[in-house]
Amino acid sequence: MSTSPCPRPGEPEAGGPVAGPRPPVSLSPSRASDFMRCPLLYRFRVIDKLPEKPSEAATRGTLVHAVLERLFDAPAAERTPPRARELLPGQWARLLEERPELAELFADDPAGEKLARWLAEAEGLVERWFTLEDPTRLEPAERELFVETELESGLRLRGVIDRVDVAPTGEVRIVDYKTGKAPRPEYRDGALFQMTFYALVVWRLKNVIPRRLQLVYLGSGEVLTYDPVEADLRRVERRLLALWEAIAHATATGDWRPRPTKLCGWCDHQERCPEFGGTPPVYPLPVVPPPRSG
């Protein structure tokens, strides 16, 4: 069991680089959501490790997260909108250095107009955060925290928490920044899945149930909170165990079926998806034959 700082972007699925495909060994909120959304998408990302093109929206989110993380390096009184705006160019340069492929997003923008608009949108999201939280009154215990634990079942859970606040009384608040808009009430259970996942990991690591889970939606200027109880975390644990069993079965049999939804239009893998007339790559892992009948 461990906790340590982890840089953006992405939630690691396994520790360190690995040569060649192998069965999944852990579960993160993102990959769990992938499997629930479409098992074939999970396979493409976790087992085949197919490359995906960077998107403006996801990269903007990464940039905004980086600015909000670095803002807390400054003394409380200096955590102001002008200071946050000053951080944007440097953090964008750092991202480009770490991930040169991001330059492809603005390859057709010789005059820099598209990039300027994109940076202005990121700046607007950062400035909206100041209307939702006051960073001069916050002293996070952790930022961009990589957490990992192994359940009694052997299932390893891991992920990256945007911010952890700890009150003087010891109460824990888990905070996640979202650059999109808050979901409608009927879809909030899905939005809270990631947060209850993190709460479960913290509970198993520290034997402390977080007092509050907080989603900060910069796109719509809303804050969604939820106060979990032990029954909630036991419920999500059972759900994750069932999900892991389904993943193990698909891994062993090679049966990764696509699940078409409205989100398919944004998928990078349509040319390999049977739903769109494509053919997946040859399955790279051994397949367990079904038992003989009779």
Which has the higher per-residue pLDDT, 145 or 110? 145
Residue 7: pLDDT over 70: no
Residue 228 domain-assigned (yes or no):
yes
Summarised one tens digit per residue, pLDDT across range 250-282 is: 999 999 999 999 989 989 999 999 999 999 999
Residue 3's pLDDT is what?
Answer: 42
In a domain, 256, yes or no: yes
Q: Which of these ranges, 5-9, 15-19, 131-135, 280-284, has the smallest mean pLDDT?
A: 5-9
Calculate what percentage of the chain has a pLDDT beyond 70: 92
pLDDT band at 290 (very low <50, low <70, confident <90, very high): low
Task: Give yes or no: residues 168 and 246 share one domain.
Answer: yes
pLDDT of 48 strictly over 60 = yes
**Which tens digits make up the pLDDT trace of 171-193?**
999 999 999 999 998 888 888 99
Highest-scoring range by mean pLDDT, 13-27, 52-66, 279-293: 52-66
CA distance 103 to 96: 7
- Assess whether 58 and 152 both reside in one domain: no
Is 177 found in the same domain as 42? yes
- More confident of the two residues 115 and 9: 115
CB 53 within 8 A of CB 268: yes
Q: Would you list the DSSP string of 271-287?
A: GG-GGGT--PPPP-S--
- Do 159 and 237 reside in the same domain of the chain? yes
CATH number of 211's domain: 3.90.320.10
**Domain for residue 279, yes or no?**
no
User: Rounded to an integer, what distance in angstroms lies between the CA atom of residue 271 and that of residue 97?
Assistant: 30
For residues 147 and 18, the model is more confident at 147
In a domain, 293, yes or no: no
The verdict on 234 and 101 lying in the same domain is no
Three-point CA angle 64, 87, 218, nearest 5°: 25
pTM: 0.88
Q: How remote is the C-alpha of 54 from its chain's centroid?
A: 15
- Total domain count, the chain: 2
Give yes or no: residues 219 and 198 share one domain: yes
The predicted structure's pLDDT at residue 19: 55
Range of the domain at 72: 54-139
Of 162, 137, 135, the residue nearest 80 (C-alpha): 135
Same-domain status, 124 and 237: no
In the sheet that holds 142-150, the strands lie side by side as 2-5, 142-150, 156-166, 172-178, 212-217, 222-226
Looking at 114, 139, 164, the residue that finishes a domain is: 139
Q: Considering the domain boundaries, does residue 166 fall inside one?
A: yes
Do 242 and 171 lie in one domain? The reply is yes
Whether 15 maps to a domain, the answer reads: no
Task: Tell me, yes or no, whether 275 lies in a domain.
Answer: no
Residue 17 burial (10 A CB sphere; 0-12, 13-18, 19+):
exposed
**What is the C-alpha separation between 158 and 144, in angstroms, rounded?**
13
What single letter denotes the amino acid at residue 257?
A: R
Cα–Cα distance, 118 to 270 (Å, whole number): 27
Average pLDDT over residues 237-262: 96
Q: What is the pLDDT of residue 2?
A: 41
Please state, in angstroms and rounded to a whole number, the distance separating the CA atoms of residues 178 and 194.
12
pLDDT band at 21 (very low <50, low <70, confident <90, very high): confident
Same domain, residue pair 188 and 152: yes
Q: What is the pLDDT of residue 149?
A: 96
272 inside domain = no
